[in-house]
Every structure is written in C-alpha cells, then in structure tokens.
Structure 1
Amino acid sequence: MAACGLDEKLFTYLLERAAAPDEATRPLAAMLARAAGMRLSLERLGWPRAALDRLLARCFPGAAAASLRTALEHAPREFPREAEEIPDLVVLLLEHAAVRDETTLWLARAVALACLGEQHLWQDMRLPHRAALTTLLGQYFPSLVRRNTQDMKWKRFLYKQLCEKEAIACRAPQCTACEDYRDCFGPETVPESVGVC
C-alpha cells in the first residue's frame, strides 16, 4: 500500500487521463486513489457505481472504467473505524454547499475521504498549498469557510464542526484551553522531511 493509503500509480494514471487536471480534478483523482490504496469499496461507503461511471466519464474520460471499478470493488479485510465518519463529514459539507450538484457531492466525498490521511488536508487532497484548499472550499462550501474565523487547520476545523453538530466530546482541540493551540491556528508549514503522499 502506498504511503498514507494513496495508490500513487493510480493517482498519476488518472491525472494523465483527466479532462482538465485542475485544482478541482486533483482531489477527485486523490479520492479514487486513496480508496483503492486503502481498499475501501466506494459502494460500501454509499457511493453508487452509476455515479462513479459518470464521474469517470466527465473528469477522467481516458481512464479504463472497468479496470478502475475492479480496483475499487475489493472490500477491505476489516472496514476501518475512522471510515465510519465519512458519511457524516459529507453531510456536514453539503449543508454548506453553494450548489447541490453531482460535482459538489463528489468534492464533498473527496474532502471527507482525505480526512483519513495523515498530513494536512490540502496535502491529502493533493493540492499545491493550503490557500488552494481554502479557495476550493470557498467556491463549493462558502458558508463553512466563513465559519472558520480563526484560521483553524481545515481537518481539525471539520471535525470540530462535526462534534459541535452532534453535541459530543470532540478530539478536536478546545482551542484556547489547549496546549496545542499554536499547532491548530495560523499558517501551516511543512517540515522538509515530510513529503506529500
């Protein structure tokens, strides 16, 4: 399995066959590559095959749909507990969607699945920098971006929003009372020793 659960070869394969390898397409390619790398069945996550076929036809027309479906249909030996949060994250994102269309739905799924990664969300979505993620989220989920008034890291911010919505204790920091406050707010930097998945 590739580092961080991302199938690097599949990611490259998809980008090479993308209709437009832009900052909206890259996260979708990363989502499919992560699902394959983690052996997560998209159908098991509630994402129907017909929708996958439409996504491939629209965004990755040069990809062999049948072989990609095969790569995504292998169920994991044990479904990761953290993957159970993906549908809740998708619902949270869609509550803040500017437009509810299929592209927005797939991007919400891409964000949610990238939250399982081990790096900053912008890295796990294969974007060039944090500002690109903020721009993308602002375009598709503008009211969510407006809520992040203290520039909290996106992955932690999303989990904090999810926990507040569910009114449960959260793994996201309680901010001002937390000793990791500086790790969660302000500019993100990437140590030289840390590469992108």
Structure 2
Amino acid sequence: MLTGADPADADITSDSNFDRHVLASILAAATMDGGLVSEKVGLSGHELAELLEQYFPSIRINAEELLLRVERNESDEAAILRDLLLAQRSTEGDIGNWLAGMIARRAIEPNHLWEDLGLRGRGELSRLLGRHFAPLAARNINNMRWKRFFYRRLCEDDGLVMCTTPVCTQCNDFNLCFGDESGESRMAERRREVLLQAAVPVAAGT
C-alpha cells in the first residue's frame, strides 16, 4: 500500500528507492505487530506524520490531530542505542534521525534485526547501516550479527567487557554472535498467509 509494489518486487537500485523501501518495510512490520504504529517504530506522532508526508504523500492519516499529539515513548535501552546511531550518522536530512529511532526501537524485538525491520535479508540491513551510519557499520569488520554488534559497542564505549574470552572463536556464545541469519522475511511470510487464506474458499468449493 505504501509503495504500490509487492516487497519482493521492490526496485532498490537507487539510494532513494532503497530508502523508501526500507521505510515502508519498517512501517509494515510495525503494523503487523499491532498497537500504535508510532510507538512500534520509535517515533513521535509528529515525526511519523512528517515521514509519511515526505515519502508517502498519497497516504492520508486518520485522526491526524490526535496522531500529532503522540509523544515519543521509548525505553532507556532504545534511547541509548538511538544516541549511538545518531552519533554515527553519515547522511543529512530527517531520514537519519528517523532511522536511528526506528532501528533502536525495533532492535528490542526478539527476532533478527533485519526481520523486525521487515527487510528481505541481512544484506539489506547491512546496506542500510553502511549508507546512513557508515562509521559505525565500518567497525563491524568481523561480520558480527548487527544487534549483538550494537550492544557490544555500547558496552565497550562504557568501558565494560562483554566477552568472556579474548578471541571470539573460543567463546561459547560464538553462534549467537556470528551464526546464520537466513530465513523467510516477515513480508514474504505475510504474503504466503494471505495467499493461503484466499485459497481456502476455492478449495472448499471444489
């Protein structure tokens, strides 16, 4: 609904198209979780309204006046991660501010970060971070899972030691930090569910 195309067919060749795809994916994933969308994406009502106006102007917000009164409501954990991302921005404009809040909020969800952002794979998340938060992304030289990497950076910036061994390969948690992140995207999973539901009446009538 936001982009006019199925997520699987999204054209992300240009940076502008990629940014629009990312924002749409995050909003879609948050909507699937239920509840107030602005809270689920870590934005205030005003920020969400600005995002929709700039990137999805055809979308009309219901009860816009009520939406604009919604303040940003984030946990201390999300606020700390958002500050880390904001300090490592590599692009100008509103989108970096929005993405910092959105990534920080979605990072507290239980799945792989790329899944809870609604992206199609880890590669899209790496491109997103490399584009908008390049200094931070460049520090992940060992290809650690992004969520684990963020929290490791936060611990080290505070002078804490997160790891129990000096070498990652000797650590019992190696698979938690570097394991496989493949799987079906949330958008693909949702599309499959919709197609299956649509097929049920047909099957029942045959």
Distance of 1:100 and 1:158 partners within structure 2: 22
Mapped to 2, the partners of 1:35 and 1:70 lie a distance apart of 18
Partner of residue 65, structure 1: 61
Alpha-carbon separation, structure 1, partners of 2:161 and 2:66: 39
Query: Are 2:148 and 1:156 equivalent residues in the alignment?
Result: yes
Give the equivalent residue in structure 2 for 1:28: 23
Residue equivalent to 2:116:
124
Shift of residue 142 of structure 1? 0.8
Contact 1:96-1:143 within 8 A present in 2 as well: yes
1:1-197 matches, within 5 Å, as 13-16=1-4, 22-32=17-27, 34=30, 37=33, 39=35, 42=38, 47-67=43-63, 83-168=75-160, 170=162, 175-176=168-169, 178-185=171-178, 187-190=180-183
Distance 1:59 1:95 in 2: 24
Distance 1:42 1:69, change over 3 A: farther
Shift of 1:27: 3.9
Residue 160 of structure 1 deviates from its aligned partner by: 1.1
Q: TM-score, normalised by structure 2?
A: 0.65
**Cα offset, 1:32, TM superposition:** 4.1
Cα separation, 2, equivalents of 1:36 and 1:182: 29
Return the offset for 1:73.
Answer: 7.2
Report sequence identity in percent. 32
8 Å contact 2:44–2:70 — kept in the other structure? no
Unaligned stretches of 5+ in structure 2?
A: 6-10, 191-206
Q: TM-score, normalised by structure 1?
A: 0.68
Deviation of the 1:168 alpha carbon: 4.1
Distance in 2 (CA, whole Å) between partners of 1:169 and 1:68 is: 46
Take 1:68 and 1:25, find their aligned partners in 2: how far apart are those partners?
22
Structure 1 Cα separation of the partners of residues 31 and 75 of structure 2 = 10
Separation (CA, whole Å) in 1 of partners of 2:77 and 2:85: 13
Q: 1:167-186: per-residue Cα shift (whole Å, max 9, x none)?
A: 3465x776455312033126
Give the Cα–Cα distance (whole angstroms) in 2 for the partners of residues 56 and 162 of structure 1.
31
Please say if residues 144 and 177 of structure 2, whose CA atoms lie closer than 8 Å, have aligned partners that are also in contact.
Answer: yes
List runs of 5+ in structure 1 lacking aligned partners.
Answer: 1-12
For the structure 1 residues 64 and 153, does the alpha-carbon distance in structure 2 shift closer, same or farther, using more than 3 Å as the test?
same
1:6 maps to none
Change (3 A) 1:30 1:127: closer
1:45-92 deviation line (CA, Å, top 9, x unaligned): 9844433221110122222223477579789xxx8xx83211111111
CA distance in 2 between counterparts of 1:116 and 1:68 reads 27
RMSD (Å) for aligned C-alpha atoms: 3.9
**Cα displacement (A) at 1:136:** 1.2
